[in-house]
Amino acid sequence: MTVKILVTGVGGQGTITLIKLLCQSAKLEGHKVIAREIHGMAQRGGSVNASVVIGGSASAMIGNGDADLVIATEPLELLRNMHLISRKSVAVVCMDKVIPFSIRGNESVYPTTDNIIRTIVSDAGSLFYINEDNINSMHQFRKSLNIYMLGVAVRSGAIPVSSDSFIRVISEYFGPDAASINLQLFKSGYALEMVDVISQDKDDSGYMNPANYQYLLEQEAMTC
Amino acid sequence: MEIINKKTDTRLSELLLGNEAIAQGALESGIAYATIYPGTPISEIGTCLEKKAAAYNLIYEVSINEKVALEAAIGASLSGARSLVAMKHVGLNVASDPLMTLAYIGTEGGLVIVSGDDPGCYSSQNEQDNRLYAAFSNIPMFEPSNPSECHQMVKEAFVFSEKYKIPVILRTTTAVNHARGFVDIDTSSYEQTEKAFKKNTSRFVPIPFNARRLHKNLVEKISDLERYSSNSPFNYREGSGDVGIITSGACYTLVSDSVAKLSLSDRVSILKLGVTHPLPQTMIVDFLSSMKQIIVIEELKPYLENAIRTIAQKVNIDIGITGKSFANLSETGDYSIDIVEDALKCFFNLRKTDRLSNIKKFSLNVPARHPILCTGCPHRSTYISIKLVYQKNAIYSSDIGCYTLGVQDPIEMTDLFTSMGASISSASGLSLFNKKPVVAFIGDSTFYHSGITGLINAVYNKHNFLLVVLDNHITAMTGMQKNPGVEAAGHNKISIENIVMACGVDWCRVIDPNDAENAFRVFNESKNVTGVRVIITRSPCALMQSRVQESRTVYQVDSTQCKSCNNCQDTSHCSTNKTTEYQFVRADQLLRHSRDTHSKNQYLGKQAPCVEACPVDLCAQGYVTELAAGDFKGALNTIRDQVPFPYSLGSVCHAPCEKACEKANNREAVQIRELKKFAAQKISSFHEDQDFQQRLVNRQLKNDRIAIIGAGPSGIACAYDLLLKGYAPEIYEAGSIIGGMMALGIPPHRMCKETFVGEIQFLIDAGIRFYLNTRIGTDIQLDEIHDRYDAVYVAIGQWQPKLPMSLLESDRVISSIQFFSEHNRGHRHNTLGRVILAGDARALIDITSILLRQGVSVTIVCSEGDAFAERINNGIKWPDTNRDIAIICNSTIETCHDTETGVNVHIHHQLTDVTSVLQADYIISASGQMPDISGFEVLESTEKGHLLIGSGGATNRQGLFAGGDVTGLTGTVVDAMGAGKKAATEIHKYLSTCLNKKTVAYDVGINLLTDYRPQIVKSEIVKSGMDKAAIQSIASKCDGCSACNKCDLCFREMGCPAISMKNGKAFIDDMQCTGCGYCAVICPNMAIKKVILQ
């Protein structure tokens, strides 16, 4: 049984770091693992697409509808990869919107948070997202939101690796100072009272009310 | 040959990229020499080797180009050193010259050539299939499919190369180079042994005699190596089904996963090939024999497929072989797992799911995220400076590097690029066959790579172009590799300018691209030089600069100056969207002068002097700049913002703007009036003018009814402004001709009457309603009008001739207004006989000019001095007739008496105090006019008979306004228009607060004009003889003194990621700004200021 994980975002959001942490943690628990990184010109504003497959696959390429987990550090990049998502997919999205240069001066083209959520829930199986308020409240840790998201992703149960293994890998991966902050972020992401947007909100008819999507991830007080 | 001594032995499993695994395998093989030219997808091989070079006693070099790298490695290998050369696929084209012969010569120390192919062009200009190079050169090829294989194959390749004395091509694709996986590595380190070259002329010197033998040897060797290939563990079979899939490299991983997913493992067998030249023929024959059908799955060329078809045909195996063009297996792009999966589904007749619609749904809506030049990138500054100088006129030949991103919006300065160094050589060819200037761009690294030969060729053959070397001290695109232009320990720095000069270039300049003023000057200078010119723009890559500093310089926008306009009272007037060229012309206006002495300093926050002087607030700066930018329609639209009859005003305006311009800039004024006339000369009808129609559509319509009395310039200007504000003004005119003094007072040789009629028709079509032959007090009473309309503007002008006392006794006096009026209606005055003219000098000249044309002899009596006489006699180009003019200066008419045949005029000479008598048939008096306010008696008037108005034109009756000549406060067309426009503003203000509005719709109807065909003289004026280029050059003299609220230069034209728009103003993000300062220097509004952040 393989677990296919897509990590997507833009340059500087730590997508490649997540790939390395996922690989190391899976390896620690004896899983076979292979990854793939497409980071053409990420430093110059391009997208970053990377994937990990845990559990014995020859390629880390994910087929249409085949992603088990998507961690998107930028929502537009998730929308760009919606074809990889199906009802079996868990999506963890950070609403840290980075306006692409192509729509500058016409920013309204960027989908609203509501529309992003609506689009994801129409295809995905579960959705956990970090909204703008959460992001703002974690302003000083903005560069480490990826680790926080990893905590959320691990908590979602979509990764067949225990949080302890991640904790061990994170403490080894970062230098002593950075490790403690990142560990706290991981733990705080992992400890969230999480509500799956999709299963919570589906009424009998399967209709989802976007008005209820706000503030589903209640941010616990950060003490670090 | 034992060349390595193992020092330690430590094995562990490490998470590596394919590239890192290649580097690690090479290190474990004890390589002594590695030389690479960086490029996606192999760049990380170099990064990784560089890091470990010292620890492994390895000589690591970033080479100058791939050919040089391979040739150096040949020397190293033949000296016994294990050598690795790495390059991207297109690099092998550069290295293909030595490659072909290298196969003949072979190797001593193992030599591995890594060729990173890029199917899908993730970061390349093509997706060539370098497997063909292996077959072409007859060099053995290994193809790994994952990091672990990368590691193993490199190690085997070195052993193989040394054993068989032949190099190996390790062919990867992006998917393999950028795959990450755990690799069992051996971290042992080695000590290198002594190396030495042993001469072997018959092998190493392929003169024809040797080459023929060596080629034969090579073919035999490859034939022998087939056995190696068939026995290699890198070529193996999987599965037990009877459908055979033959594949290699990254495609194998996709096949393997698809087979597992589709549960086909018992139906297929996979032949996975790792050694793909020479192909394992025996193994393939065995495989084909045991299968019922074959599918070949490979990206790009049908390399395997064609070889396998050949083998099958040779050994006579009759088997179906499926490959390219089956399902979505094409020769282009990289394969996704879905392509492979769908092909297998198709092949096995499994249901094909329809996921494509899903892809479509999203890919259509998600905004693209293209890579762009970084914030603070010096290339951006270079590009913008060149655009400022060369604009769209040049052909831009570009090259490969970060600066290729200059192809994108908004820079768009790449017209051609093919391969490394080609910018220069192709510029040569372009310059031979194009009149436009040619500009070539090349980066520092690319210049060293293969720009120099092209430069020598261009100088030698006397080509003509500008070469810009963008020197950012680094090979940035591929990950910050050093190049010969960078000072570094263990290297000699090589100066680009010295190379350029040594190539024979006479004109070479080095500039800092962020110093926009100097860059502008130097690029302008380059325009006036022919031959090969070189400008080196030198500034370090923005990515190399640390962004986290305690205090740093950033730039911020002063929002009071950004997108501000002091020219219009009401910026909503400014209707035209400005073109890119407009924005650049504005920067050009700024950069042409030294910043300190620029008139902009003086006029920031104020109106431009030309606009300040204009009674109708016409943005001369705006339309002149638009003309300089070649936007002729835009210029006309800007004029139409304020002026209802642009061409006619351009003909008669006394141009106070030009006087102000001259004074402000202390030099010859821009010929603003001439420019306006040119912009307006191509009169289109209202129905053709889409822009104007759109302007009317965009209005917010108002129901208030406004009457204007008098269809002169003041009344029409008032009506026009009200029309643009959304009202439907109605104009009552006593006469049958529209235009007042413009139509009847101004002689036709000053203003083309036909064009004026056209401009009036435009206004009628646009919705201004005219009632002609409707005199107040006679046809309709003022009170009646006042009752029916919410507001009334009285602009009846002054039409009553003012005759001096001295002329009152004569019946043979014609007033100038009567004369002009008759003349404009087409009446000829050739029967007048002898005429004496007296009065205002300017009118005298006009009348004389008309009379001379009609053969009337003229005597001018005036109080002007001899200078005027001189002007009349010699200074004026009179119509080409037998002219008969006499002039009596310093004189006035004392009195006159009619006789039976004419009139006796007593003329008093002021200087001599002598009175003489002159006989004439008629006297024409040009002593001005006064208003006839009969019908308007309810309005307060002055002693002189002018209507009395307060500020904004209000009269003593509420809702009734007056302006123009009837108030005695204006004297020229443009002043009268100004009064009308002011009244329009007041009326608008009045109506928005007025509570007592008329609700009953009222239509006079009877005299409403639709088709205007007045009885008026035909035109005499020829249109401007200037062409667009001449006009642009005149307009280019404008300094653009004041700010413009339509400025968009930094945001729209620079494409700097740090600049965005916030609340309608440009905004620079502190966190992103690198402090390059380029935007501040070119900001035409001078709104960007330096700030030190603590």
What pLDDT score was predicted for residue B586? 92
> Does A105 contact B1051 at a Cβ distance shorter than 8 Å?
yes
Of B634, B879, B644, B582, residue with least CA distance to B747: B879
pLDDT digits (tens, 9 = 90+) for A172-214: 999 888 899 999 999 988 887 666 666 555 444 333 433 333 3
Name B227's Cβ contacts closer than 8 Å, sequence gap at least 6: B282
Instruction: Determine whether B827 is exposed, middle or buried from the number of CB atoms within 10 Å of its CB (0-12, 13-18, 19+).
Output: exposed
Contact A38 B122 (CB under 8 A): yes
- Among partner residues B260, B337, B362, which is closest to A83 by beta-carbon distance? B362
How confident is the model at residue B1002, as a pLDDT?
A: 57
Closest approach of B377 to chain A, Cα-based (Å)? 10
Of residues B123, B261, B367, nearest to A102 (C-beta)? B367
- How many helices and strands, by DSSP H and E, does chain B display? 40, 40
Task: Tell whether the model's pLDDT for residue A221 goes beyond 50.
Answer: no
Decide if B369 and A34 are in contact by the 8 Å CB cutoff: no
Q: What distance in Å separates the CA atoms of residue B457 and residue B437, rounded to the nearest whole number?
A: 19
Report H helices in B239-373. Answer: 249-261, 281-289, 303-314, 337-347, 356-363
Label residue B165 by pLDDT band (50, 70, 90). Answer: very high
Which pLDDT band, with edges at 50, 70 and 90, does B9 fall under? low
Q: Which of the four pLDDT bands, split at 50, 70 and 90, describes residue B28?
A: very high
| Cβ contacts of A59 on chain B, cutoff 8 Å | 175, 179, 250, 253-254, 256-257, 337
Most confidently modeled range among A197-206, B163-172, B548-557, B940-949: B163-172
Kindly give, in sequence order, each residue whose CB lies less than 8 Å from that of residue B237, ignoring residues fewer than 6 positions away: B269, B270, B271, B272, B287
Mark which residues 109-148 of A lie under 8 Å from B by CB: 109-111, 119, 123
Bond into A176 cis (ω within 30): no
Round to whole Å and give the CA distance between B348 and B565.
Answer: 71
Q: State the smallest CA–CA distance between residue B175 and chain A in angstroms.
A: 7
If you average pLDDT over residues B319-342, what whole number do you get? 95
Helices (H), chain A: 15-28, 75-80, 113-123, 132-137, 145-155, 163-173, 176-190, 197-201
pLDDT above 70 (res B1076): yes
In which residue are the tokens 């930094």 written?
B1050
* B518-571 pLDDT, tens digit each: 999 999 999 999 999 999 999 999 888 765 566 788 999 999 999 888 877 665
Task: Look at residue B619 in the predicted model and tell me its pLDDT.
Answer: 92
| B7 vs B383 pLDDT, higher one | B383
Distance CA B155, CA B190 (A): 14
* Res B191: pLDDT: 72
* CA neighbor of B705 nearest in space, from B1008, B1012, B1004, B1007: B1004
pLDDT digits (tens, 9 = 90+) for B866-916: 888 888 888 777 776 666 788 888 888 988 888 888 899 999 988 888 898
Please tell me which of the candidates A20, A61, A63 has its beta carbon nearest to residue B15: A20
Question: Does the pLDDT value for residue A219 go beyond 50?
Answer: no
Chain A residues closer than 8 Å to B145 by CB: 58
The tens digit of pLDDT for each residue in B49-104 reads: 999 999 999 999 999 999 999 999 999 999 999 999 999 999 999 999 999 999 99
Residue B232 dihedral angles phi and psi, to the nearest 5°: -70, 135
Token duo for residue A19:
């790939």
The model's pLDDT over A107-161, given as tens digits with 9 standing for 90+, comes to 888 988 888 888 888 888 888 888 888 888 888 888 889 999 999 999 989 999 9
For residues B142 and B170, is the Cβ–Cβ distance under 8 A?
yes
Joined tokens for residue B1046: 């339509």
Q: Tens digits of per-residue pLDDT, B681-698? A: 877 789 999 999 999 998
Q: Which of A135-144, B623-632, B974-983, B1059-1068 has the lowest mean pLDDT?
A: A135-144
Q: Do A83 and B355 touch (CB under 8 A)?
A: yes
Convert the pLDDT of each residue in B86-96 to its tens digit: 999 999 999 99
B195, pLDDT greater than 50: yes
Chain A stretch 143-182, residues whose beta carbon is closer than 8 A to a beta carbon of chain B: none
ipTM of the prediction? 0.91
Among the listed ranges B359-363, B795-799, B905-909, B926-930, which one has the minimum average pLDDT value?
B359-363
For the CA atoms of chain B, what is the radius of gyration? Answer: 43
Report the pLDDT value the prediction gives residue A208, as an integer from 0 to 100. 40
Closest-CA distance of chain A to residue B142, Å: 18
CA B1046 from chain centre, in angstroms, equals 16
pLDDT number for residue A40? 63
**Cα–Cα distance for residue pair B604/B1043, rounded to 1 Å:** 6
**Cβ contact B370:A45 at 8 Å:** yes
- The reply to whether B370 touches chain A by the CB within 8 Å rule is yes
Q: Which of residues 254-273 of B touch A (CB under 8 A)?
A: 254, 256-257, 260-261
Residue A63 at interface with chain B, using a CB cutoff of 8 Å = yes
Q: How far is A5 from chain B (nearest CA, A)?
A: 14
Provide the whole-model pTM.
0.89
| CA nearest neighbour of B793 among B905, B960, B573 | B960
Q: What's residue B268's pLDDT?
A: 97
Q: Give B297's strand partners.
A: B247
pLDDT per residue as tens digits for the range B976-1024: 999 999 999 999 999 988 877 775 555 555 567 778 888 888 766 666 6
Would the CB atoms of A40 and B257 count as touching at under 8 Å?
no
For residue B287, pLDDT over 50 is answered with: yes
Q: Is the peptide bond before B804 cis (omega within 30 degrees of 0)?
A: no
User: Alpha helix locations (H) across B854-940?
Assistant: 866-870
CB B38 within 8 A of CB B479: yes
Residues in chain A: 224
Among the listed residues B484, B491, B397, the one whose alpha carbon sits nearest the alpha carbon of residue B436: B397
Look over chain B and give the mean of its residue pLDDT values, rounded to a whole number. Answer: 90
Residue of B nearest to A74 (CA): B369
CB < 8 Å to B1061, chain A: 105
Q: How far apart are CA B695 and CA B20, in angstroms?
A: 63
pLDDT at residue B843 is higher than 90: no
pLDDT given at position A143: 84
Say whether residue B15 is in contact with chain A using an 8 A CB cutoff.
Answer: yes
Asked if A27's CB is within 8 angstroms of B363's CB, the reply is no
Percent of chain B with pLDDT over 70: 95
CB count in 10 Å sphere of residue A89: 24
- Burial pattern B430-439, b for ≥16 Cβ within 10 A else e, equals bbeeeeebbb
Sheet holding B243-248, edge to edge: B236-239, B268-273, B243-248, B293-297, B320-322
The confidence score (pLDDT) of residue B12 equals: 87
pLDDT of B192: 77
The DSSP 8-state label assigned to residue B545 in this structure reads S
Confidence at residue A191, expressed as pLDDT on a 0 to 100 scale: 84
pLDDT (mean) for B197-213 = 97
Q: Tokens representing B806?
A: 């001295």
| Residue A224 confidence (pLDDT) above 60 | no
The verdict on a CB contact (< 8 Å) between A79 and B365 is yes
Q: Could you tell me if A56 and A32 are in contact, meaning their C-beta atoms sit under 8 angstroms apart?
A: yes
B545/A contact by beta carbon, under 8 A: no
Cα–Cα nearest to A32, from B147, B689, B791: B147
pLDDT of residue B1001: 57
Q: Which residue of A has its CA nearest to B1063?
A: A105
- B1058 exposed, middle or buried (CB, 10 Å; 0-12, 13-18, 19+)? buried
Structure tokens at A209: 């009310």
DSSP code of residue A44: G
